[in-house]
């Protein structure tokens, strides 16, 4: 069965302030990498927009209205020191969330085995009522809730290997035993959350890594903390918050992963999904800001998805 790739030129239309690393060139680098011959077998679909009710699966109604109404007609408006909107941001962010939902629909319908969504802006820092860290809507949280509300999925596991802790995803599900959140990330680092002691209702599993940790340390943490937690939870769907900023080339952190480490983690997630979820995996792009490291890591990740 095939792997789905959801991406779209609309994701280039969210522009950022000069010097910000979460920029349209990220998607251009990924598109160039996935245009190579090994990826010809991907099923490719364009983006669809989430409506406001879908956004409210994970966000407060007042917050959705705030983002809708904050979009300026020209220039930028800052929502936090790192997160600025321009005229197209509201539309593009809704397409990022909607594309995550589309991937869930196709995977759970059985038309594809798994999916990768190459969308921006990313989502895992967005809290129920707060934009931060380049994120406006929490795509992974919306996807998980959509799987539960529209497809009857009872247990969703979200595995996050972005170098930054997904504070928004953790906060949204902190008291919800139907969603497991497991994260490897550098600590200390933005946003300052992600300690092992943060456990929710027994559904939160953080495996922080010290600055300078390499692929061996990452694999050890993933094997000791993430894999046993997901195994015990027995999810019916696995969502990956697939950030690639733990790559050694990335400018925003100091972990030392290589693309083969992301390939290894992908294989492990696929094995978890085979054991518990009929192989169903939806992977959503989060961070990754060195264009070469990002493109190579995404290629390694998607290549393993296609082998499943």
User: Is the separation of the CB atoms in 140 and 218 below 8 Å?
Assistant: no
Does the annotation mark 14 as catalytic?
A: no
Q: Point out the catalytic residue in the list 14, 125, 146, 185.
A: 125
Q: Which residues of 109-143 are buried (b: 16+ CB within 10 A; e: fewer)?
A: eeebbbbbbbbbbbbbbbbeebbbbbbbbbbbbbb
CA dist., res. 249 & res. 258, Å (int): 9
Tokens of 293: 């490291």
Phi-psi region of 177 (alpha: psi -120 to 50; beta: other; left: phi over 0): alpha
Among the residues of 152-247, which ranges form H helices?
167-172, 215-221, 227-233
C-alpha angle 190/192/193, rounded to 5°? Answer: 120
User: Is the separation of the CB atoms in 229 and 182 below 8 Å?
Assistant: yes
Q: Collect all residues with Cβ–Cβ distance below 8 Å to 138 and sequence separation of at least 6.
A: 58, 59, 123, 124, 126, 127, 168, 169, 172
Q: Which residues are catalytic?
A: 125
């Amino acid at each position: 069965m095939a792997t789905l790739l959801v991406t779209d030129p609309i994701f280039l239309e969210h522009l950022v302030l000069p010097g910000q690393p979460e920029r349209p060139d990220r998607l251009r680098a990924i598109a160039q990498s996935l245009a190579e011959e090994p990826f010809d077998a991907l099923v490719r679909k364009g983006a669809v927009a989430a409506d406001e009710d879908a956004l409210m699966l994970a966000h407060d109604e007042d917050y959705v209205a705030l983002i809708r109404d904050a979009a300026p007609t020209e220039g930028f408006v800052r929502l936090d020191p790192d997160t600025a909107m321009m005229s197209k941001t509201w539309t593009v962010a809704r397409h990022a969330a909607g594309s995550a939902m589309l991937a869930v629909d196709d995977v759970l319908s059985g038309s594809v085995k798994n999916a990768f969504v190459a969308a921006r802006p990313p989502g895992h820092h967005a809290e129920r009522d707060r934009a931060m860290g380049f994120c406006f809507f929490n795509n992974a949280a919306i996807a998980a809730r959509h799987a539960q509300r529209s497809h009857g999925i009872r247990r969703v596991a979200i595995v996050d290997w972005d170098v930054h802790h997904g504070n928004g995803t953790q906060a949204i599900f902190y008291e919800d035993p139907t969603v497991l959140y497991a994260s490897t990330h550098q600590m200390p680092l933005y946003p300052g959350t992600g300690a092992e002691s943060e456990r929710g209702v027994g559904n939160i599993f953080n495996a922080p890594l010290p600055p300078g940790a390499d692929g061996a340390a990452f694999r050890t943490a993933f094997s000791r903390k993430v894999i046993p937690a997901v195994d015990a939870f027995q999810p019916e769907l696995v969502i990956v918050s697939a950030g690639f900023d733990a790559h050694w080339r990335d400018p925003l952190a100091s972990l030392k992963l290589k693309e083969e480490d992301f390939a290894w983690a992908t294989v492990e997630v696929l094995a978890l999904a085979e054991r518990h979820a009929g192989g169903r995996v939806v992977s959503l792009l989060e961070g990754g800001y060195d264009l070469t490291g990002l493109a190579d890591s995404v290629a390694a990740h998607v290549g393993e998805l296609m082998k499943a």
